[in-house]
C-alpha cells in the first residue's frame, strides 16, 4: 500500500475504505474484510451512524490499532459540545484518531474547528481535516485556524478535480481526500471509453483505472463498497502506472461538474439535523 505524507509529517495510506450509507452490519463486515485484505485506512463519520460497528469491525479484524489509520468526522450539531471528541472516541472504542474532520461548513464551524485544535494539542487526534468547505466559509475558516488543515475531504473524480479550492489551500500543503471517487458508482463515469481501453491494456477494471488515477493525482482515495470482490479489486491498484499521456487524456474529462451541489441554505440545514450517532 502506497503512503503519502501530510504537512505535519504524519503518514497516511493513499487508499482506504469509505463507509457512507453502510448500515452498521454492512459497515462492520466491510471494515473487517478490508482490513484482512490489506487496507489500513478506514473513513467514517458521526453522521453515518455506524461508528460503533466500524470499531467492532476493526477489533474483529485482528489488525492492531497502530496498523489502522482511522478517520471520522464531527457533525455540526456537536461543534459546540465539548464532549464531542470523547464521545466519538468512545463509540469507536479507541483512545485516539488518526484524522478528525469537521464534516460541514455549517453552524458554529469555527468552534468545531477549535475543538479539533484542542484535541490535536491534547494528543487525541494525529491530524486535522475539514470537509466540504469552499468560498467565503473556507476563507473564514483559514483566517481563524491556528493549525491549518492537514486534509480536506471533497467530492472529486475525473469529472471534477476541485482545482480552485486546492489552489487556495496550496500554501498550507493540505491534501485532498476524494469522496465519490467512483462518482458514487455512476455508470456514465465507469463506462467512459478511456477507462475501458486502459482497463484492457493493464488487465484491470475501469474502477481500478479511476482509483489509480486518483492516487497518481496525489489524492487520497476512499471508495465505498459492501461487495467483498470490489473491496479486494479496489486495493489492487499499485502494480501498474498510468503514463503521463494517459493521465492527460483522463484529465480532459474534467469539467468541474459535481454530482452533489450544496447551497448555503442546504448546508446551514445540516446544523439542525439531529442524528442518532449511537444507533447500533
Instruction: Return the active site residues.
Output: 48
Task: Check residue 183 for interaction with ligand NAP (CB under 6 A).
Answer: yes
Task: Check residue 181 for interaction with ligand NAP (CB under 6 A).
Answer: yes
Task: Check residue 161 for interaction with ligand NAP (CB under 6 A).
Answer: no
Site pattern 32..51 for ligand NAP (x: CB under 6 A): -----------x--------
User: Which CB, 63 or 106, lies closer to ligand NAP?
Assistant: 106
Task: Check residue 23 for interaction with ligand NAP (CB under 6 A).
Answer: no
Q: How many CA atoms lie within 13 A of 2 on its CB side?
A: 19
Task: Check residue 215 for interaction with ligand NAP (CB under 6 A).
Answer: no
User: Which CB, 55 or 223, lies closer to ligand NAP?
Assistant: 223
Minimum Å distance from CB 83 to ligand NAP? 22
Site pattern 107..146 for ligand NAP (x: CB under 6 A): ------------------------xx--------------
Task: Check residue 266 for interaction with ligand NAP (CB under 6 A).
Answer: no
User: Which CB, 9 or 187, lies closer to ligand NAP?
Assistant: 187
Cα–Cα distance between 16 and 223 in angstroms, integer? 7
Minimum Å distance from CB 73 to ligand NAP? 6
Number of neighbouring beta carbons within 10 Å of residue 218: 11
Task: Check residue 6 for interaction with ligand NAP (CB under 6 A).
Answer: no
Burial of 193 (0-12, 13-18, 19+ CB in 10 A): exposed
| Residue 1, all three cell numbers | 500500500
Per-residue three-class SS string for 239-279: CCCCCHHHHHHHHCCCCCCCCCCCCHHHHHHHHHCCCCCCC
Cα–Cα distance between 133 and 219 in angstroms, integer? 17
Under DSSP, the state recorded for 196 is H
Cα–Cα distance between 158 and 73 in angstroms, integer? 25
Give residue for cell 479496489: 234
The binding site for ligand NAP (CB under 6 A) comprises 18-20, 43, 131-132, 153, 179-185, 205, 207, 222-227, 230, 233-234
Amino acid at each position: 500500500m502506497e503512503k503519502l505524507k501530510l504537512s505535519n509529517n504524519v503518514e497516511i495510506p493513499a487508499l482506504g475504505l469509505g463507509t457512507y450509507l453502510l448500515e452498521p452490519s454492512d459497515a462492520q463486515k466491510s471494515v473487517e474484510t478490508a482490513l484482512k485484505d490489506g487496507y489500513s485506512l478506514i473513513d467514517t463519520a458521526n453522521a453515518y451512524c455506524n461508528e460503533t460497528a466500524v470499531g467492532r469491525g476493526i477489533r474483529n479484524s485482528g489488525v492492531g490499532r497502530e496498523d489502522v489509520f482511522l478517520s471520522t468526522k464531527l457533525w455540526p450539531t456537536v461543534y459546540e459540545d465539548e464532549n464531542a471528541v470523547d464521545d466519538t472516541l468512545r463509540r469507536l472504542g479507541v483512545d485516539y484518531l488518526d484524522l478528525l474532520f469537521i464534516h460541514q461548513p455549517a453552524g458554529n464551524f469555527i468552534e468545531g474547528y477549535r475543538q479539533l485544535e484542542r484535541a490535536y494539542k491534547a494528543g487525541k487526534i494525529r491530524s486535522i481535516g475539514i470537509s466540504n468547505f469552499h468560498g467565503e466559509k473556507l476563507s473564514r475558516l483559514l483566517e481563524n485556524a491556528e493549525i491549518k488543515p492537514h486534509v480536506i475531504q471533497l467530492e472529486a473524480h475525473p469529472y471534477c478535480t476541485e482545482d480552485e479550492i486546492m489552489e487556495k489551500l496550496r500554501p498550507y500543503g493540505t491534501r485532498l481526500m476524494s469522496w465519490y471517487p467512483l462518482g458514487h458508482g455512476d455508470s456514465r463515469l465507469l463506462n467512459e471509453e478511456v477507462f475501458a481501453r486502459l482497463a484492457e491494456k493493464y488487465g484491470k477494471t475501469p474502477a481500478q483505472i479511476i482509483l489509480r488515477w486518483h492516487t497518481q493525482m496525489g489524492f487520497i482515495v476512499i471508495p465505498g463498497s459492501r461487495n467483498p470482490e470490489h473491496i479486494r479489486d479496489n486495493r489492487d491498484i499499485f502494480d501498474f502506472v498510468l503514463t503521463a499521456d494517459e493521465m492527460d487524456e483522463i484529465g480532459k474529462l474534467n469539467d468541474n461538474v459535481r454530482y452533489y451541489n450544496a447551497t448555503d441554505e442546504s448546508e446551514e440545514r445540516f446544523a439542525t439535523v439531529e442524528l442518532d450517532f449511537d444507533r447500533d
